[in-house]
Amino acid sequence: MDISIGVLDCCILEALWHSRLPKSFNLILEDRPQTRVGHPTSSNYHFTMSASFPYIHISCPCNEERPQIMAVDSARPLSPTKSPTKRDFAVPVPSTPLTPVKRRLFPGTSSFDGTVATSGDADGERNDEEDDEDEENNFDPHDQRAAFSLFPIENLLYCEDCHQIRCPRCVTDEIVCWYCPSCLFEVPSSTVKSDGNRCTRNCYLCPICTALLVVIPVNHIPSSSSAAEQQQGPFNLFCSHCHWTTSDLSPPLQLEKPTSISAQLAKVTPSAHDAEFNRLKQHYAQQLGNAQEDFTNSPAALTRLMGLYTGLGAGGSGHAGGRKGRGVKKLEMKEIDRPREVVEEREMEIVEQMAKLGIHATTNTKQRLNQPHEPRFLSELRPTAVLLRTKRSKRCRACRHILVKPESKVQTTRFRIRLVALNYIPSLTIKRLDPSIQLSSLVPHKTHRFLLTVTNPLFDPISVSLLTPRYTPGTDYPSRVTILCPEFDVGANTDVWDDALMSTRTPAPVPTPPPQGNKDPRMATVYEQKRNYTSVVIEVVPAEIPDTRVARIRDERLLEIPIFVRVEFEAEVDREDEEGGGGGTSSTSGKHGAPGSSGGGGNPLGREKVEYSYWCVVGVGRVGDPVEGVVASEPNTPVRTPVATPVKAPRTPGVSKTPLRQQVRA
Amino acid sequence: MSSRDPTKLAPTTPYRSSAASHRTSLTANPSTPQSRFSTSAFSSPGASSLHQVDEPLIFEFGTRFFRAGFSNESAPRCKIGITPAMYGREGLKGRGGTRTNRRTGEPAGPRIRNSGSEEWELWLNDLRFKDLGVVEDLMERVLREAYNKYLLIESKSKRLIIIIPPVFPLALQNTLSQLLFLHFQPPTITYLSSPVLSCLAAGLRSALVVDIGWQETTITPVYELRPLPAHIKFSSRGTRSLVELFGQLLWNTIKPEGDDESWWRIFNWADVEDVSTRYGWCKSSADAREAARQRARQAFGLGSDKDADGEVNEDGEKIRKTSADIRAQRRRETIEGAQVDVTFKTPLLRESTTALTLPFEAMSIAAEYAFFLPSWINVESFKTEEGYIPIPSVEDLMDGCQSRVEYEDESEYALPYLVFLTLLNCPVDVRAVCIPRIIITGGAANMPGLKARILSDLKELVEERGGWNIVKKRNTMGDDRRRELVEKKPKKVEVELLQSEKDDLRIKYAKLGGVAPGTIRGVETMGAWAGGSILSGARIKGSVERYTIYMISRNPKWLSSAKIIIFMNLADTIFC
């Protein structure tokens, strides 16, 4: 987890450094405080969801690849006599992928345009009866399993060889180094296990509040200034947060030296559990030792073996019987001497102690679970050494390529390899077009317009198509969703200075944004287009949803829109051709010299069409109570574009050059 | 590498029906790719897969807690409790945007059963409504946390020993194996049955293991380290029902009139569980019996006779108090005087937290309801004036329904009676060995007083029933009288002889370090996890594993979720 945070931080830093941070990203950062419209009253309760609306989560494709496991068929009664059949158990059912199209197409397979054209045509004529089939393929964000495959884009990696998003579940971890997060001391791998995965230096945590403990003398006088005086005598471990000290234990725990705490603690804290465990272990070792010795080396075992082969059998012949009997007897196992018995008196003493000491002398669940032997009373707690952490490199589980490789030095936060999805897949952001929209209470039947911005991190222009179900799936109260311009291009993520410096180059082909005067957002063209991002309008008409909170079912009012994103672009086939091509996708991680410095004059033979797609979920907000005056037959409902499946957007001629419109901040 | 390519995991049949006497490799799941260790189990008994240089990891999949650690250690490295947050989405703290809170409208999550406990559980025996995919996802999440946060080890390098309950749904085990081999790729997985390991961790070879688990109590007789699956008994009274009753009692205490909200909507399961583990205790058998007697007196309109003749026996003499009695008396006074302050987060009520001051004595009531009282008794509250348990009606008492455990639903027998039944149904030899070796383990067994209570209640039950007869005697008084008339009294010399023989036996047993047969004795165990740790650390040679698969359908309600019982016969492992 710590690694992934590091990844994100580094990403932002690096993006700033290379000044490739798209402007929209800035906008989102600005936008955050406005959109934080949570429920302040309940923020202290665990029901609270920490992310505020809107949010965007991306579904890792591994969700679809997994075999769907069929649970037990409850509807079918099973007679007790009949043995259960295969159907009664989880059997992997060959599943159809959720995505409507094949995820990745190589050159030579059906092209992007063709697929869409046919499906678009067909869908245009389809009517509602086809919707059912549609729904089968739709990604349902309400599904319980979806919670395990949806991630913020910052948590995702990208495998260049598979052209696939990789979530934390699709990678295998390899440990690079172990270190203590408190003293940043690297622990060699040979001692990690024997130390119990904990720091063996002086890093100890308070067992009550998990703050770091400090060593202070028992007779601590804060006013006395002489250092020599302070270094005297027995020492305590002291928690500066909750003022717990090891002297609070019974018996009080005091150290002689302020250093090498682990060794001292191990000496003074014998555990009854460990003693019992060792007694048991010794018992079994003894028994097994006898048995093994007998079995392998002793003559008794040998005769027994011989007896087996000569067919004398276990019943035994007369003369060998005595000896064999002895051997067998020796092999026989005994139970431990004096097993610990359950004594009522002892248990009632604990009860008495509980009653006497009161409730605040007992440990709570968290404190108890952190200790190895689950003590009942606070006085039995021991300081816990800091758990070590690891730096891990991550491999793609399918192709074994390394996706993340941190520097092995503990202090550095740099990575040698880091293929984060943020650099590969277009990131979506959504914001309100109308600032009066209350994200926490959207008005039913009213058309809410949002601006969906697709930002391209790649150095190639991409064409994006967004598909969304006409009605939000997985709920009885579907809301109507329309993406006004479902297909569009997004410019390449060229350097900001490129345009300025290389005036001779023709700028990247940019589709025509709407004319300046046309402020009506209800049009089938893109709303805004800049260097590497494009914004389109998405219209949401929430249904009137009854408040199901009392009915104790899931939150029907939460409005989450699944969007299927399909991205297509041309990329370099061979990485060696990079000098010619310049700005190929494979160099987008930013490690290579100056991407995008040369023009797009690469060898056309060396390019291939890459296409990938994924589902993402846009958490728009919650639907509020119905408002008077806004009724179901509101004429505001968009009718212009066919819904459910986007038609092919009119591709604006790429050569037409239009002045970039100023961004309209709503 | 290619042979163990995780992506090519062949989906095969989930079980083999003929596996009852089939010797498989260590990996229980037949669909697992045959690893390089598998052949040794067939070829030579000397080379064992349990004998390896590197030590395995030991996982215990409980319903509520997952434990993981290394072998040869006395405690697991991590204990991960399942929380609703684990069902949530990464990046969204809380419950992943699908659940709801009644008042705030904050997201909560899908609710299948309606007691709200399923989001605190990893798996359930009742798989009818459970999406196995979710269980798989959750298990993966838990395992990943264990590996990455606590064990700090590469999953591919270590063998696994997985401790599962004696009755574990086959579908789940299949899921678990697939998940492990796909995501974590351990060299081998060994499944071990938990009662045997509990037995091992107590230092015994035979025992009656009473596992008070989260979802149910399982009673397994183990004989010479072989569990007897045909004699396993279950009760739905488990740790969960204890927590449920705690919550119910707490809510009844603060509930305004007419509010029919369920307690789990008000309280958080974790809070209630915390209270029950911290403060919960169990009355001793004598105290509970005394309380029941007082209730019966009140039912007949008689006043409390606590002070009047508590210290006088039938003959009117004062009973001499022993020091133990005095100590018990003092303890009783301490307990009576003690108070408990508990604070709960109750966001759905008007106040965000509710503080309660309860008598310490009340904290023992939940265990009473959960494990000992018949299930038809109404749950009162912690604030009831006349005791915490409702006074039975006269009809009930006359009818005998109140006290008769055998009128209970079969899946809800009170624990002492269920232990009695299990022992009664065992073969005589097994019973003789198991009676002095009763191991009580599981989550609720940590509650102080519970183990002793079950044992002494059992003792009483046996005395009342007059031994281990399957046929219950109806009229014991009449029987005694008839015997007196019919049977020839042995002569005095014979009696003395018999007595001395018995004494001899007793001395003999004492010499052997055992107890006389028929003595009910409880033995403490270190738990199944420690047992697994000892076993895997013992470097056992010559293991022969045998899997026995039994399909049992024990509850008509759960018929559809058939169970698998997998036992690795430890007896063979260690003592061949």
The token pair at B447 is 């509650």
Is A500 in a helix, a strand, or coil?
Answer: helix
Rg of chain A (C-alpha set)? 34
Q: What is the DSSP letter of A266?
A: H
| Cβ-based burial of B204 (10 A; exposed 0-12, middle 13-18, buried ≥19) | buried
Give B-chain residues touching A345 at CB under 8 angstroms: 324
Residue B556 confidence (pLDDT)? 34
Nearest to B177 by CA among B164, B196, B193: B164
Question: How many whole angstroms separate alpha carbon B342 and alpha carbon B356?
Answer: 5
The token pair at B118 is 């399923």
Length of chain A: 666
Contacts of B570 (CB under 8 A, 6+ apart): B192, B196, B200, B225, B226, B535
Q: Domain map of chain B by residue range?
A: 2-82+121-203+527-575, 84-120, 208-235+413-488+520-524, 238-308+327-409
Residue A341: which of B128, B328, B523 has the nearest Cβ? B523
CB contact under 8 A, A50 and B72: no
CB contact under 8 A, B107 and A155: no
The torsion defined by the Cα of A451, A457, A460 and A461, in degrees rounded to 10, comes to 0
| Residue B271 contacts A where some CB pair is shorter than 8 Å | no
Give A-chain residues touching B13 at CB under 8 angstroms: 86, 91
Alpha carbon separation from A12 to A55, A404, A498, A591 (Å, rounded): 18, 17, 21, 15
CB contact under 8 A, A47 and B108: yes
Contacts of A123 (CB under 8 A, 6+ apart): A130, A642, A644, A645, A647
| Cβ-based burial of B240 (10 A; exposed 0-12, middle 13-18, buried ≥19) | buried
What are the pLDDT tens digits along chain B (576 aa)?
344 444 443 333 333 333 333 333 333 334 333 333 333 333 333 333 444 457 889 999 998 999 999 988 889 989 999 887 788 777 665 444 344 443 344 444 433 345 677 778 888 887 776 678 888 889 999 999 999 999 988 888 888 889 988 888 888 888 898 888 888 888 888 888 899 999 989 988 889 999 999 988 999 999 888 888 889 999 989 999 999 899 889 888 888 877 777 787 778 888 889 988 988 999 998 888 888 888 888 888 777 665 544 454 555 555 666 787 888 888 888 888 888 888 887 776 777 788 888 888 888 889 988 998 887 788 888 876 667 888 777 776 766 544 566 677 788 888 999 999 999 999 988 998 899 899 999 888 989 999 999 999 999 888 888 778 777 666 555 566 666 666 666 666 776 777 777 777 777 766 665 667 678 889 999 999 999 998 887 765 434 444 443 333 333 333 333 333 334 444 444 332
At B550, which helix (H) or strand (E)? strand B550-552
* C-alpha distance from A115 to closest chain B C-alpha (Å): 29
User: Which conformational region is residue A637 in: left (phi greater than 0), alpha (psi within -120 to 50 degrees), or beta?
Assistant: beta
Mutate to test the interface with A, among B16, B60, B104, B264 (most CBs of A within 10 A): B104
Beta bridge partners of A538: A450, A483
Beta bridge partners of B219: B210, B233
CB contact under 8 A, B265 and A552: yes
* C-alpha distance from B347 to closest chain A C-alpha (Å): 7
Q: pLDDT digit string (tens) for B71-80? A: 888 899 899 9
Give B-chain residues touching A192 at CB under 8 angstroms: 152
Say what the ipTM of the complex is: 0.78
Residue B349 confidence (pLDDT)? 74
Main-chain phi, psi angles of A198, to 5 degrees = -130, 160
| Cβ-based burial of A6 (10 A; exposed 0-12, middle 13-18, buried ≥19) | middle
| Cβ-based burial of B307 (10 A; exposed 0-12, middle 13-18, buried ≥19) | exposed
Q: Which amino acid is at B432?
A: A
CB contact under 8 A, B202 and A67: no
Give B-chain residues touching A341 at CB under 8 angstroms: 521-524
| Cβ-based burial of B264 (10 A; exposed 0-12, middle 13-18, buried ≥19) | buried
CB contact under 8 A, B352 and A44: yes
Are A457 and A585 in contact, with CB atoms under 8 Å apart?
no
Residue B440 confidence (pLDDT)? 94
Nearest to A184 by CA among A410, A456, A459, A5: A410
Question: How many whole angstroms separate alpha carbon B120 and alpha carbon A664?
Answer: 48
Number of helices (H) and strands (E) in chain A: give both, helices first. Answer: 16, 24
Give B-chain residues touching A45 at CB under 8 angstroms: 101, 104, 106, 345, 347, 352
| Residue B522 contacts A where some CB pair is shorter than 8 Å | yes
The torsion defined by the Cα of B71, B77, B81 and B84, in degrees rounded to 10, comes to -110
Give chain A's residues under pLDDT 50.
1-51, 67-135, 294-297, 311-331, 504-522, 552, 575-604, 634-666
Q: What is the DSSP letter of A11?
A: H
Residue A397: which of B6, B114, B140 has the nearest Cβ? B6
CB contact under 8 A, B14 and A84: no
Question: How many whole angstroms separate alpha carbon B124 and alpha carbon B169?
Answer: 9
| DSSP output for B227-287 | E-GGG-EEES-SHHHHHHHHHHHHHHHHPPTT----HHHHS-HHHHHHHHHHH-----HHH
CB contact under 8 A, B144 and A169: yes
Residue B273: closest C-alpha in chain A: A365
Contacts of B316 (CB under 8 A, 6+ apart): none
In CATH terms, the superfamily for domain B208-235+413-488+520-524 is ATPase, nucleotide binding domain (3.30.420.40)
Contacts of B298 (CB under 8 A, 6+ apart): B304, B386, B391
Same topology, domains B2-82+121-203+527-575 and B208-235+413-488+520-524? Answer is yes
Nearest to A43 by CA among B115, B345, B247: B345
Helix, strand, coil distribution of chain B in percent, nearest 5: 45, 15, 45
CB contact under 8 A, A335 and B456: no
* C-alpha distance from B344 to closest chain A C-alpha (Å): 11
Contacts of B459 (CB under 8 A, 6+ apart): B520
| Residue B201 contacts A where some CB pair is shorter than 8 Å | yes
Give B-chain residues touching A68 at CB under 8 angstroms: 133
At A489, which helix (H) or strand (E)? strand A487-490
Question: How many whole angstroms separate alpha carbon A341 and alpha carbon B521?
Answer: 7
Give A-chain residues touching B147 at CB under 8 angstroms: 173
Q: Sign (positive/negative) of CA torsion B319, B324, B330, B333?
A: negative
| Cβ-based burial of B533 (10 A; exposed 0-12, middle 13-18, buried ≥19) | buried
CB contact under 8 A, B99 and A152: no
Residue A599 confidence (pLDDT)? 40
Q: Position of tokens 């490690």?
A: A591
Size of interface A-B (CB pairs under 8 A): 364
| Residue B414 contacts A where some CB pair is shorter than 8 Å | no
Q: pLDDT digit string (tens) for A521-575? A: 445 678 888 888 889 989 899 888 776 555 545 567 778 889 999 998 887 765 4
Residue A555: which of B107, B534, B542 has the nearest Cβ? B107
Question: How many whole angstroms separate alpha carbon B263 and alpha carbon B499?
Answer: 58
Please write down the HEC assignment for all residues of B486-534: HCCCCCHHHHHHHHHHHHHHHHHHHHHCCCCCCCCCEECCCCHHHHHHH
CB contact under 8 A, A46 and B85: yes
* C-alpha distance from B564 to closest chain A C-alpha (Å): 11
Contacts of A222 (CB under 8 A, 6+ apart): none
Neighbours of A568 (CB within 10 A): 20
Are A565 and A139 in contact, with CB atoms under 8 Å apart?
no
Helices (H), B92-181: 132-145, 170-179
The token pair at A508 is 């990247």
Mutate to test the interface with B, among A39, A354, A382, A390 (most CBs of B within 10 A): A354
Residue A318 confidence (pLDDT)? 39
Give B-chain residues touching A304 at CB under 8 angstroms: none
Contacts of B39 (CB under 8 A, 6+ apart): none
Residue A84: which of B150, B203, B562 has the nearest Cβ? B562
Contacts of B435 (CB under 8 A, 6+ apart): B208, B423, B517, B518, B519, B520, B521
Range 531-550 of B in CB contact (< 8 A) with A = 533-534, 537-542
CB contact under 8 A, B446 and A374: yes
Alpha carbon separation from B565 to A104, B165, B168 (Å, rounded): 45, 8, 6
In CATH terms, the superfamily for domain B2-82+121-203+527-575 is ATPase, nucleotide binding domain (3.30.420.40)
The token pair at B352 is 């965000």
CB contact under 8 A, B281 and A283: no
Neighbours of B561 (CB within 10 A): 25
pLDDT above 90 covers what percent of chain B?
A: 16
DSSP E strands: which ranges in B112-231?
Answer: 160-164, 168-169, 189-193, 207-212, 217-223, 226-227
* C-alpha distance from B92 to closest chain A C-alpha (Å): 6
Alpha carbon separation from B538 to A10, A336, B526, B533, B541 (Å, rounded): 47, 15, 16, 8, 9
Rg of chain B (C-alpha set)? 26
CB contact under 8 A, A39 and B105: yes
Residue A546 confidence (pLDDT)? 75
Give A-chain residues touching B141 at CB under 8 angstroms: 148
Q: Sign (positive/negative) of CA torsion B479, B484, B490, B496?
A: positive
Residue A372: closest C-alpha in chain B: B75
* C-alpha distance from B323 to closest chain A C-alpha (Å): 13
CB contact under 8 A, A355 and B334: yes
Q: Domain map of chain A by residue range?
A: 53-68+94-153+425-589+610-622, 216-269+343-385, 279-331
Question: How many whole angstroms separate alpha carbon B518 and alpha carbon B390?
Answer: 35
Q: Sign (positive/negative) of CA torsion A66, A67, A72, A74?
A: positive
At B9, which helix (H) or strand (E)? none
